[in-house]
Amino acid sequence: MNIAPLIPMANRIGLFFEALSDRQQGLDEIAEHIRKFWDPRMRRALLDFIDQHPDGKSEAGELTPIVLEAVIQHRQQLEPRA
């Protein structure tokens, strides 16, 4: 799956939840939203992107710091089931 359209989607989710006054709650909510509403292929592409680009940056785009932190922190819950 192409990561390019997923990066802006993830960043919009992050922008919404970054407004919460409790940063940890924001991180949790970002991961929960991605887990609930993203297809397993989308989640796999996001996790593979971070594996290949640990800083969240590539020519395809750049994850915001809060999204990168949320995905890394909640990686286990975002892993698609086999």
Other residues' Cβ atoms within 10 Å of the Cβ of residue 2? 7
Residue 38 confidence (pLDDT) above 80: yes
Tell me the pLDDT tens digit for each residue of 43-68: 999 999 999 999 999 999 999 999 99
Q: Is 6 exposed, middle or buried (0-12, 13-18, 19+ CB in 10 A)?
A: buried
Predicted pLDDT at 81: 87
Burial class (CB in 10 A: 0-12, 13-18, 19+), 31: buried
Indicate if the pLDDT at residue 30 is higher than 80: yes
Predicted confidence band at 26 (pLDDT cuts at 50, 70, 90)? very high
Whether 47 contacts 75, CB under 8 Å: yes
